[in-house]
């Protein structure tokens, strides 16, 4: 078993990491960090536990420590980070320099040229960018990122459609409140309401998707040349981002061919990768957040409503934002790092 730490373990994504890592076949939780306010408390006391399963016994009485290299034991080679991005930007490079391998959810450095941004089923080969990163920065550790939760939802179906020559993507999202973290959206703002525009989210979808779908030549990642345009909206669902996507392709694409390309898109040979990766519905009113977010234990992407357009294909897609879109994505990247020998 590889001893692992969770940075930001008390937050919405941190709790999901605890839930996924507690029974994990390859990893064992050995460190839990949070802010100075939480440090010194037991995990049970520090975390405002919000999941519908009990706090695992293995961590309930563990002491939360501060988020720095001195507080984290040396024999914990892999750290999963779910820190606010400003905090991640400050501490993740120091931890990588100190020799830890950091698999991070935070949005800082996702577009940095020497930082791999990875969905293992889509672009596992980009993990090789760690060699470039280590050469350039002189790190013994490494920093690897998973993309934003709304980007993760649409990129696997887009990767499946790329065989038809993806030229332009337009997406509009209906994103769950858990995506904003525990203190992100108040009940007074969201009940009986929907909030257009999520600061920074549109830009993340427009740039991260092109890096994920880009080519890695052993030295750098060339962004995919598709134009991506996003409009992000917060709605009053708890978990699960639903997205309406219009994909323009160079070649004609029929709904049958698109459904086949999505349904047969391969999963990764890693413990947390679901098979199938993309579940395709024929019913036009699926996927739906409440009914479909837990498919593949919350790690599958669902697609439906496939329709030919004059320029390509229209479809809807859905993924669980704190599982496939955050904690599960990070755990999957940790599994990839282990398999590829980076630990």
194: DSSP letter: -
Give me the catalytic one of 24, 126, 149, 224. 149
Residue 85: exposure state from Cβ atoms within 10 A (0-12, 13-18, ≥19): middle
Residue 83 found at the interface with ligand NAP (CB under 6 A): yes
Query: DSSP assignment of 281-304, as one string?
Result: --STT---HHHHTTGGGGT-EEEE
User: Using CB under 6 A, which of the segments 179-187, 208-216, 249-257, 280-288 binds ligand NAP?
Assistant: 179-187
User: Using CB under 6 A, which of the segments 7-15, 160-168, 205-213, 258-266 binds ligand NAP?
Assistant: 7-15
198: DSSP letter: -
Single out the residue of 232, 251, 250 nearest to residue 241, CA to CA: 232
Question: Which is nearer to ligand NAP, 280 or 319 (by Cβ)?
Answer: 319
Instruction: Using CB under 6 A, pick the residue from 289, 325, 328, 334 that binds ligand NAP.
Output: 325
How far is 64 from 61, CA to CA, in rounded Å? 9
Give me the catalytic one of 24, 126, 224, 241. 241
User: Using CB under 6 A, which of the segments 9-17, 128-136, 158-166, 292-300 binds ligand NAP?
Assistant: 9-17
Residue 153 found at the interface with ligand NAP (CB under 6 A): no
How far out from the chain centre does Cα 328 lie? 7
How far is 318 from 287, CA to CA, in rounded Å? 6
Residue 10 found at the interface with ligand NAP (CB under 6 A): yes
Single out the residue of 149, 47, 153, 156 nearest to residue 105, CA to CA: 149
The answer to whether the peptide bond before residue 276 is cis (omega within 30 degrees of 0) is yes
232 tagged catalytic: no
How far is 245 from 332, CA to CA, in rounded Å? 25
Residue 333 found at the interface with ligand NAP (CB under 6 A): no
Residue 105 found at the interface with ligand NAP (CB under 6 A): yes
Instruction: Using CB under 6 A, pick the residue from 2, 69, 87, 112 that binds ligand NAP.
Output: 87
Pairing of strands 227-231, 166-174: parallel
Question: Which is nearer to ligand NAP, 11 or 312 (by Cβ)?
Answer: 11
Instruction: Using CB under 6 A, pick the residue from 26, 65, 67, 166 that binds ligand NAP.
Output: 67
Minimum distance from residue 73 beta carbon to ligand NAP (Å): 17
311 tagged catalytic: no
Single out the residue of 238, 259, 252 nearest to residue 304, CA to CA: 259
Residue 175 found at the interface with ligand NAP (CB under 6 A): no
Whether 64 contacts 33, CB under 8 Å: yes
Question: Which is nearer to ligand NAP, 59 or 149 (by Cβ)?
Answer: 149
- For ligand NAP, the binding residues in 184-223 under the rule CB under 6 A are none
Residue 8 found at the interface with ligand NAP (CB under 6 A): yes
Q: What are the backbone dihedrals phi and psi of residue 207, each rounded to the nearest 5 degrees, phi first? A: -100, -45
How far is 51 from 19, CA to CA, in rounded Å? 9
Instruction: Using CB under 6 A, pick the residue from 56, 58, 84, 111 that binds ligand NAP.
Output: 84
Structure tokens that stand for 193 in this block: 């309401």
Minimum distance from residue 12 beta carbon to ligand NAP (Å): 4
Residue 18 found at the interface with ligand NAP (CB under 6 A): no
Instruction: Using CB under 6 A, pick the residue from 19, 123, 178, 207 that binds ligand NAP.
Output: 178
Secondary element (H or E) of residue 66: strand 65-66
Catalytic positions are 149, 241
The residues binding ligand NAP (CB under 6 A) are: 8-14, 34-35, 37-38, 67, 82-85, 87, 105-107, 148-149, 178-179, 181-182, 321-322, 325-326
């Amino acid at each position: 078993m590889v001893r692992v730490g969770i940075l930001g373990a008390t937050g919405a994504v941190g709790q999901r990491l605890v839930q996924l890592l507690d029974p994990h076949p390859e990893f064992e939780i050995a460190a839990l960090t949070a802010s100075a306010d939480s440090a010194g408390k037991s995990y049970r006391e520090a975390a405002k536990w919000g999941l519908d399963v009990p706090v695992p016994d293995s961590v309930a009485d563990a002491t939360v420590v501060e988020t720095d290299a001195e507080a984290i034991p040396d024999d914990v080679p892999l750290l999963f980070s779910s820190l606010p991005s400003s905090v991640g930007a400050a501490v993740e490079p120091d931890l990588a320099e100190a020799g830890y391998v950091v698999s991070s959810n935070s949005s800082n450095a996702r577009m940095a040229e020497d930082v791999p941004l990875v969905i293992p089923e889509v672009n596992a080969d980009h993990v090789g960018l760690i060699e470039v990163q280590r050469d350039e920065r002189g790190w013994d550790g490494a920093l690897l990122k998973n993309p934003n939760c709304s980007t993760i939802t649409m990129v696997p179906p887009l990767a499946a459609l790329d065989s038809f020559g993806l030229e332009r993507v337009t997406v509009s999202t209906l994103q769950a409140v858990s995506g904003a973290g525990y203190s992100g959206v108040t009940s007074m703002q969201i009940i009986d309401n929907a909030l257009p525009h999520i600061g920074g989210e549109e830009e993340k979808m427009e740039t991260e998707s092109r890096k994920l779908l880009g080519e890695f030549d052993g030295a750098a990642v060339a962004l995919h040349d598709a134009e991506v345009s996003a409009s992000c909206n917060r709605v009053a669902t708890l978990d699960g981002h639903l997205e309406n996507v219009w994909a323009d392709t160079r070649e004609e694409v029929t709904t049958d061919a698109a459904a086949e390309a999505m349904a047969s898109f391969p999963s990764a040979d890693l413990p947390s990768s679901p098979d199938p990766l993309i579940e395709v519905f024929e019913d036009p009113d699926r996927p739906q957040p409440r009914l479909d977010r837990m498919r593949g234990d919350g790690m599958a992407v669902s697609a439906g409503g496939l329709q030919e357009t004059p320029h390509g294909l229209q479809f809807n897609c859905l993924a669980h934002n704190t599982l496939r879109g955050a904690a599960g994505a990070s755990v999957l990247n940790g599994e990839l790092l282990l398999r590829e020998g980076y630990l």
